[in-house]
Structure 1
Amino acid sequence: MPGALVLMGSGETSPTMVEVHRAVARGLRPGARAVLLDTPYAFQENAADISARARRYFARSVGLEVEVATGVTGADWVFSGPGSPTYALDRWAASGVAGDLRARVRSRQGVTVLTSAAACTAGLATVPVYEIYKVGAEPHWREGVDLLETLGLRAVLIPHYDNAEGGTHDTRYCYLGERRLARMERELPSDTAVLGLDEHTALIVDLESEEVCVAGRGGLTVRRPGSVTVLPAGTRTSLAAVRDLAEGGTPGAVPPPGVAGPPEDTVTLEETTRSCEELFKAAVAGPDLVAAAQLVLDLEAEIVKWAADTEEDSGGVDQARELMRLLIARLGEAAATAPLHPLVEPLLDLRAELRGSGRYETADALRAAMARGGVLVEDTPDGPRWSPAPQTGCIPGRRG
């Protein structure tokens, strides 16, 4: 069995990480046992839904049939992702899973994929992000599972390293920000490095060859007091080189042997949503209402692609759906000032697409928007039929 440790900063069940999952799953034997550890989010009311979405993602996009489990014994491939790092730590320590995970990596066998909250536990210390960022606890560390120690790395792992959701306040470094991280760094042993893993970015370690690859759209930051080195996506280097950086080696002494650009298919849903909105505005102003209707269809297709994402970063599926409803309403408003015939047919096509994909609520919103724009749509056994809405008001020349 191939041995690999994969750590992801975020995007673990999104289109941006599909190729990473496929690459590490290719070497698995036929009928390999694939296990999803739901521990980090098991306390959430929607835990079953998160697991179901993750299982669909791996089945459809990666070709892995995954079972939800509480242990890793006998598993060829293990995955754990979003939720609370400390909730997972407490339960893994009590059940022995923490030791089992260390043994997997130490034996250099099997694929172990830890992402987001689970990745946060991979170092010698863990950021209690829920307690600090959401509850207001004083910045502090919790002991980690420390898979990195089995690779000769004395380090902590911080996912969501380049997070920018805060807007006006600093949410980098897994929502800590520079002020809190700098304070926490001083509490670490002096020989400890911080490994920062950007969102939609993976660190892949081949446990047999000890080759290290950074994939995705961001980078891996190796941070020591007085020095910061960034290995961008596309970097291929050795585990020894990363160890040297983590121990305070000079970046120039361990250049990565090969650096390529990031994969093309790493656009996030947030970026796609912003782009669709801007292009839609331009199409309506044109006016090119057929193009505007096509952009709504394109946005719907992207929402379907991202529907399995178990950890929605800023600009998630819900926000994209809200924008799609808004764009549909704007199409209806545009109908009031445009000739009806060139507009109505593409709108009916859009409504049929929405109904065909089960988006009945959005299709009804489009029908209502068309009515406000002066077009009535009636569903008949022979298909939809439309007509201009009757005008209301007083008849000129008549007195009541």
Structure 2
Amino acid sequence: MDLKYPDGAKQFADEVRAFVRAELPATIKEKVIRHAKVSPDEQRLWQRKLCDRGWACPGWPRQFGGPGFDAMQRHVFDNVMSEEGAPPALPFGESMIAPVLFHVGSEEQKAEILPRIRTLEYWFCQGFSEPGSGSDLASLKTRAVLDGDEWVINGQKTWTSFAHFANMMFCLVRTDPAAKLQEGISMLVFPMSLPGITVRPIISIDGGHSVNEVFFDNVRAPAKSLIGEANKGWTYAKLLLGHERTSIARIGQSKRELALLKTLAADQGVGGTSLLDQAGFRARVAAVEIELLSLEITALRTISAGGAPGVEANLLKIKGSEIQQTLTELLIDAAGPYALPYDPLRGLGDNGLGSNMEPIGPDEAAALTPNYLTTRVVTIYGGSNEIQRNIIAKSLGL
């Protein structure tokens, strides 16, 4: 089955593709394709180009500075950007806290924060998970007490992605310890430069640094940092997490990885026969391609329904993350022994500096093992897939 866009959407896809090919620096595209890290300066450079074109924050309505894409345009835009190797948008500001501000933010917060998210002047991180409060987020213990016109925050967050780059955080804190778990939580937004905030790196299994521990020691944030109403943070978090789980599906990225898999498998083989000509491997590739096509159709049905994503977001998160993991496994199988030498520095994009060995095998092979390792987490973050299945079952009355 060939999923084709309607004529108008196809023309828009061609327009987006032409823009990316003309404006995206080759060095940045190469990093994305090779699973290397894009620097904050490179991310901001690409964001400026999107702003100049009027395509920054593609999910935003025009009234807040977005392009006002309809559901099909947004899907096409995201797919083409991923297929062409553009850096993925940072979700924490653009796709997570922004929709919450649209609904419950004060006019002052919207005027101050939204334009700066659009330009990446504000680089957000997400203060949700804590030691012992990951998928069971409602058990969080970080406290915030209102003292005059300031919130005094004490506690710890963990697995905080890109906190070492971020200058802003949206954070869930417990403001009524006597209330039921979900009813005593509030959401705050504040600068990472406030005194009393300490960021400590966590080096992950791929050898990279993308997540952190964050400590709050009598941090004083202005009272206006509160988003919406006090003790309603859990309600806002559910809206926010719906957008996060939809974005974790990463359909465009998986389509790009599938194309890479086919290219790599066509070049590898035994006895003059490529992997793609071997029935067993070809069947595995076909199976994941069918699943990806089914996922895209489901995503199109979800976004065409409009409104905030519901339990469909949980389904997309489950299947999208599983497909991402399957693709990393198939890529390693396709590279064979060339994927075995594990050089995390080279895999992270600095071309093996510090290594005394010349790289062997295809250029793509160096980053496959680090990418495989770091992709293990996609079935955990955003709420583990086990929790997602529980939510779906509950929605069905099971």
TM-score, length-scaled by structure 1: 0.23
Q: Of Structure 1 and Structure 2, which has the larger fraction of its residues in helix?
A: 2
TM-score, L = length of structure 2:
0.23
